[in-house]
Each structure stands twice: as structure tokens, then as C-alpha cells.
Amino acid sequence: MKKTLYLAVVALLLTAPIARAQLGTTTGTTTVNVTVAAEAALSVGATTNLASVGTNFSSYTGTTSLTYFIRTTLAGGSGFIKLEVTTDFAPAGGPSVGTPPTAGDALNYTCTVANPGNNGAAIPCGSPTTSSTTAQTSVATFGTDNRSLIGGNSASVAWTLTNDPKYKTGAYSAVVTFTISAS
Amino acid sequence: MQERTFRHHNPAQTFSPSVNDFHWDIDAVSTCANEENLIRCRCQGRVVPRARVLVREPGSHCAKRKTAPAPSEHKVIKTQKVSLCPSENHKRVAPYCDGVVADASSQASRCEFGEPSTMRVAFAANVFMAAPAETSSSRLGSNFLRYMILVRNIKHHLQWVVTLSLSGLVMLLAPVGSYAQTTLGTQTLSLTLHAAGLLYTVPASVTLTHVGTTFTTFTGSVTLDYRARTTTSTGSGTITAKATTDFPCASGGPCIATPPSAGDALTYTCSGATLGASCSGTQTVSTTAATNVVTIPAGACTGAGSPCGNAATNTVSVNFKLTDDPKYKTGGPYSATLTWTISAA
């Protein structure tokens, strides 16, 4: 038995150098895999100007337009768009969101949100909503399997700022941060 | 049964059976580690009047089988020479008989070097004796011995058959250097090399991913290994890709044949082909037509050094992009199959 084994090993060693494995083929296949998850994105204009019509202390108004892209999870998903005044009006002496010069002075807004173009329904903010420097406030909310168009869907925020005579004349600006999220 | 113990000291001592010597209980059992050794035997059960036994010839250390004489006979009537001795000093004759179950109280002698052995058997018969290193013998069952010897011989023969076959195979397969002593004639060998192309390393899968959660494009890359030879002056070769299985479009994910949104597509670019030219620009994967990956010119070949001047195996990189359309439902992995094809002429 041992002799048989030895000879088999010798035969294998002698034949191995002359063996040429040909493993090439004329065709081959590759499987392409991709996993799709919840995602959200938005784009918003850089500046919105608030203006007052006339000269009788009518409120300042303006509209900020934005485009949102959203995909919430097929089951149990949700999403939202919110805003927050992350930098109050400056310089001092004019309007202020954090410390209104006069009680009742406020930067308020209303929301208009188109439904996600591929599936779902957007729920806009309640009107009017008072912006804040300390907390995010709602613009829109989304439910399960909400999917926007590949080019996005539109939303807008219409601002109203009290025209308080107490404001000193001048140019004032604040920064509003919009946030979109999906799960 | 009467139990007797036999111990033998005279190498030439033998016993002739008598009329009363056939009530044996001995089992035929092979208990020697080396099958070349004598097999011990115990026969149990009933009377075996014509059991075969091993008898060591006077002056010899090898055993011969002998048939136990009939009750009316007192001499050996048939012998069969059996060589069971790889080493003359390690043989020990054990009794055999036509097998029957052994008595549990019986013990056969052991195959030991140069020592007399003792065997106790429950029988009322005498045994045939062997040389000094042999066990006390009794009438043996010859059939079992014949069987064991036959098995051993067959095994030996088979080993040699295999050995000779392998030797012949070695001769046929191993390169043999010969030196012609006399020129008997000449022969012209001719060879026609045809164009050929083969794919070697083809990745089994690729996973497309993206960074962040803001609908950036999914991306991924693969590298193909290939070898090719094209006809001089007039030849050409190609590597192409085609989606032979689409994503599961009905699941709401990406789809090649019917993109969910206009502009959705699985595309690729090619780079770094070491033989031939990579595809130009962005190619859109199709389920109905193959799209170009590499174009190989005439007279091209794979190989390092002259005349090919490239590498032992050529490579090309294929870089994929897939639109991240919000319209895709969450889930996955969504999978599609691409088939790569190489051809050369």
C-alpha cells in the first residue's frame, strides 16, 4: 500500500510541471447590487427680502421658496421640514425675534408644500407659525413611503414681520436655517 | 468438555490423531497484528472430524496445512504447503478447523517470537504439533485459513497491479528525453494559430454605494482580466457588456429596461485597458444590446516582451454609476446581472 502511495506521489510530481490550466472563458457575469434607503435633501434661495407696502406701518412680507427631495421608508417611515432663526436680526435697534421691541412684535410665517410627486402627502405647518431663535418650527411633515420627484417638489414659506414704529430706520438681516429629514 | 493445556518443547514433535481426537471446540480467529503471521484459530461448537490443521514440517519453520485424518485413518492423507512465514523466527503455528463459534473459555496461543505458547481448548481431542515457537495445535478449520490466505494474496496482487499501472502512467505522462542515435528521416511540423480571446478574472459581484443621504449617485467599479490574439492586418477584437438580467423593476427600485424616471440609468465608463482601447465616454447599460468596453486592433496579442509588449494578462477598469432617484422605494439589495463577452478575429 505504501509502495502504491509513493508511486502515485511521484507520478503527480512528474506530471505537474507539464500541466497547463486553461480557465479563460469567452463570457463572464457580474451581479450588480444596490440598496436603497431613506434620504432627504432640499435647496433654498440665498436671500428673501421683506418689504412693506405703503407708508402706514403695514407689515413687512416676503416669501422664501424651496425645493425638497424626499424618500421615506417603505414601512414605518416619516420625514419633516423645519426652520429656525439661527441668527437674529442685526444690528440692534430694529426688529428682533428673540426679544421683540414691543410685545406682539414677531416674525411669523405660513407654509405651502406640494405633495411628494411619486407618492405620499405633505402636511404643511399650521398657520400662522411664529419663528423662534431657540427651537425649530415646522414647515411640513411626511409619512410612510413618501417619495418626491427626481427633480424635487416645491414648498414655500410666506413671512410676516410686524412693522413696529419703535424700529429705528436702517437695514436689518437675520439668518433662517431650514432642515429636512427622512427616515 | 475436558480442558487440556499443551506446551511443546520438541520442535519436531508431532501427534497423530486418534479415534478419540475429534471432539474439538476451536474458533478460527485472526488476532495477529501482522497478517503475515500465523493466524490463531479457535474452533468451538461441534465435532469437526475433518478439520484442516497446520503442521510444521520437521526442520522447517513454515507451516503446512494438513487435513485431519478420518477416525479410521492414522496418517496424513492430504497436504497443502502454505507459506505463512515472513520471518522464520516469528512464525507460530496455530490450529485451524472448519469454523464454529469458540468457547469463551478457550484461549488460542499468541504469535510471539521464539516462545512456546500455550493454548487451552475445550476439547477431548489431540492436536497436531508444530515447531518449538508454535502453539499447541489442535485440529484446525482449513476453510478459514484458505480464505485469509486468499485475501492476502489478492491484496498483494492488486497492489502490484496498481503499482505497475501507475508506473506505466508515469512513463506516458512524464516528459522523456531521448537521444536519437540514427537519423531515420525528417518531418515538418506545421501549426496554424487562430485568433482567440478569453476572459479570466471576472468579479462575481459589485455593490454600488454612495456617500451621505442626499440622493448622490450610486457608484462602483470592477476590473476585468483578459487575453487576446487578433489576426494580423485584418483582425479585431472586442469586450462588451450587456444586462442579461434586469433589476426587479416591479419592486419599485431601479430598472434598466424601463427607468422609473426619465434620465434614470445604469451607466459606465472604461479606463486603463492594457491591450486595445477603453470605451469612449459614458456608456449606458442596456438589456437589449451589448455595449462596448474594449476595442482590440488587428495584430494584437497578450504577452510581456516581444512581439506583444504588454503583460501576461491584460486588464481594464469599468466604473459604474446609477441614478439615485427618489422614486426608488427603499429596500434591496436590488440586483441585476451583467454579462461580459470577449471576441477576437
The interface predicted TM-score (ipTM) is: 0.84
- Alpha-carbon distance B39 to B32, whole Å? 6
pLDDT at A153: 98
Q: How far is B311 from chain A (nearest CA, A)?
A: 16
* CA distance, residue A123 to nearest chain B CA (Å): 19
Query: Which one is predicted more confidently, B184 or A12?
Result: B184
B 106-135 residues with CB below 8 A of A? none
Contacts of B345 in chain A (CB under 8 A): none
Residue B15 has pLDDT above 80, yes or no: no
CA distance B73 to chain A (A): 45
A32: chain B residues, CB-CB within 8 Å = 205-206, 208, 220, 266, 320, 322, 335-338
Percent of chain B that is helix, strand, coil (3-state, to 5): 10, 30, 60
CA distance B243 to B257: 9
CA distance B134 to B41: 13
The C-alpha cell of B112 is what? Answer: 510471539
pLDDT for residue B206 is more than 90: yes
Calpha distance B245→B254 (Å, rounded)? 13
Report chain B residues whose CB lies below 8 A from the CB of A1.
159
B332/A contact by beta carbon, under 8 A? yes
Band of residue B14 on the pLDDT scale cut at 50, 70, 90: very low
> Does residue A162 fall inside a structural domain?
yes
Interface residue B325 vs chain A (CB under 8 A)? yes
Could you state, in order of their start, the residue ranges of all structural domains in chain B? 1-155, 196-325+333-344
Is residue B42 classed as helix, strand or coil in its secondary structure? strand
B312 contacts chain A (CB < 8 A): no
Q: Which of A5, A26, A36, A153 to mutate to test the interface with B (most CBs of B within 10 A)?
A: A36
The overall average pLDDT reported for chain A is 91
Report the candidate in B141, B117, B128 with the shortest Cα–Cα distance to residue B49: B141
Could you tell me if residue A16 is inside a domain?
no
Chain B residues close to A118, C-beta within 8 Å: 326-327
C-alpha cell read off for B132: 518449538
The three grid cell numbers given for residue A145, joined into one nine-digit string: 413611503
Residue in A15, A28, A148 nearest the CB of B199: A28
B35/A contact by beta carbon, under 8 A: no
Q: Give residue-wise pLDDT tens across range A119-147.
A: 999 999 988 999 999 999 999 999 999 99
Look at residue A146 and tell me if it is in a domain.
yes
Which chain A positions have a beta carbon within 8 Å of B200's beta carbon?
A: 23-24
Residue with the larger pLDDT of the pair A93 and B3? A93
Which residues span the domain enclosing A125?
39-44+58-182
Question: Is B329 at the interface with chain A, CB within 8 A?
Answer: yes
- How distant, in Å, are the alpha carbons of A37, A78, A86, B247, B332 from that of A181? 13, 8, 18, 28, 21
Percent of chain B with pLDDT over 90: 40
d(CA B10, nearest CA chain A) in Å = 38
Mean pLDDT of the B157-178 span? 57
Residue among A7, A38, A39 minimizing CB distance to B166: A7
pLDDT band, very low/low/confident/very high, at B192 (cuts 50, 70, 90)? confident
Q: What is the CA radius of gyration of chain B?
A: 42
Running DSSP on this structure, what letter comes out for residue A35?
E
Least confident of A24-38, A111-125, B173-187, B228-242: B173-187
Is the CB of B166 less than 8 angstroms away from the CB of A38? no
Backbone angles phi, psi at A81, to 5 degrees: -125, 130
- Residues of chain A positioned with their CB less than 8 A from the CB of B166: 4, 7-8, 11
In chain A, which residues have their Cβ closer than 8 Å to the Cβ of B208? 32-34
- State pTM to two decimals: 0.61
| Chain A residues with beta carbon closer than 8 angstroms to that of B219 | none
- Tell me, yes or no, whether A115 lies in a domain: yes
CB contact under 8 A, A28 and B339: yes
pLDDT score of A160 more than 90: yes
- Give per-residue pLDDT as tens, B78-91: 333 333 444 444 44
Chain A contact for B101 (CB, 8 A cutoff): no
Q: Give A147's contacts in chain B (Cβ within 8 Å).
A: 326-329
Q: Is the peptide bond before B333 cis (omega within 30 degrees of 0)?
A: yes
CB contact (8 A) between residue B331 and residue A35: yes
- Count of structural domains, chain A: 1
pLDDT tier at B145, thresholds 50, 70, 90: low
Q: How many angstroms separate the CA atoms of B2 and A74, rounded?
A: 92
What burial class does residue A123 get, using C-beta atoms within 10 Å of its C-beta: 0-12 exposed, 13-18 middle, 19+ buried?
Answer: middle
pLDDT digits (tens, 9 = 90+) for B244-255: 999 999 999 999
Chain A interface residues (partner B, CB cutoff 8 A): 1, 3-4, 7-8, 10-11, 14-15, 18, 22-41, 69-74, 77, 116, 118, 145, 147-150, 182
> Taking CB atoms and an 8 Å cutoff, what residues of chain A touch B205?
30-33
